[in-house]
Chain A
């Protein structure tokens, strides 16, 4: 079983739609959580951190449920420019692997006109 699991998609949605991605993680030592975005043939870039209380950044909302070891990302009013792969990421704060980020396989999103 992968340490961070995501539905690979692809998600194909029209402009203006709301889309949600889910992610589960298995390592209970994970302390911090992030969503990264990766455009085709580019490097991953940090999209936003994820906090237990939930957090918003414009059209993007991230949620964390530590009890269920579950992370989500909601994108409202989708734009064509949101088309990318979204990577769920955990930060390991325990033991000898402190400082290590573990990436999910990514969820592919395509927003069409």
Chain B
């Protein structure tokens, strides 16, 4: 099992550019989560999906952020336009109905 796969591992972009983060969950997991981690705020849940359907997106900071899950094996988190305050590590995680999450290695985003 390859685990949760995220890409890219690192992303440096200029303010105003579009950024797309990608995630492949573990096969068979029902839930997929997008988290953002910063020193100031810790791990924050942005959005999560159950069986490809968004369940709770109340953590999405603003309209610049959007997430999709077109099928059970792929999800994207898009930021358009990006701003320096979006700089953080973005984690994707997947899980079965009840149980611990498995996190991906994260995408370290720097917006300059």
Q: Can you list, as one digit per residue, whether each of B70-107 has a CB less than 8 Å from chain A (1) or not (0)?
A: 00000000000000000000010001011011111110
Which residues from A are CB-within-8-Å of B55? 96-100
Q: Could you list which residues of chain B lie within 8 angstroms of chain A, going by C-beta atoms?
A: 30-31, 33, 35, 42-43, 45, 48, 50, 55-56, 91, 95, 97-98, 100-106
Summed over the interface, the residue pairs from A and B with CB atoms below 8 Å come to a total of 49
Which residues from A are CB-within-8-Å of B50? 99
Q: Does A27 contact B (CB under 8 A)?
A: no
**Which secondary structure characterizes the binding site on chain B?**
strand
Which residues from B are CB-within-8-Å of A43? 91, 103-106
**Which secondary structure characterizes the binding site on chain A?**
strand
Which residues from B are CB-within-8-Å of A102? 45
**With A43-B91, A106-B42 as given contacts, are A101 and B56 in contact (CB-CB < 8 Å)?**
no
Q: Is the CB of A99 within 8 A of B31?
A: yes
* Residue from the set B33, B42, B95, B106 with the largest chain A CB neighbour count within 10 Å: B42
Which residues from B are CB-within-8-Å of A34? 100
Q: Is the CB of B43 within 8 A of A87?
A: yes
Q: Is the CB of A44 within 8 A of B45?
A: no
Partner of B43, one of A44, A49, A91, A99: A44
Which residues from B are CB-within-8-Å of A87? 43
**With A43-B105, A87-B43, A106-B42 as given contacts, are A49 and B100 in contact (CB-CB < 8 Å)?**
yes
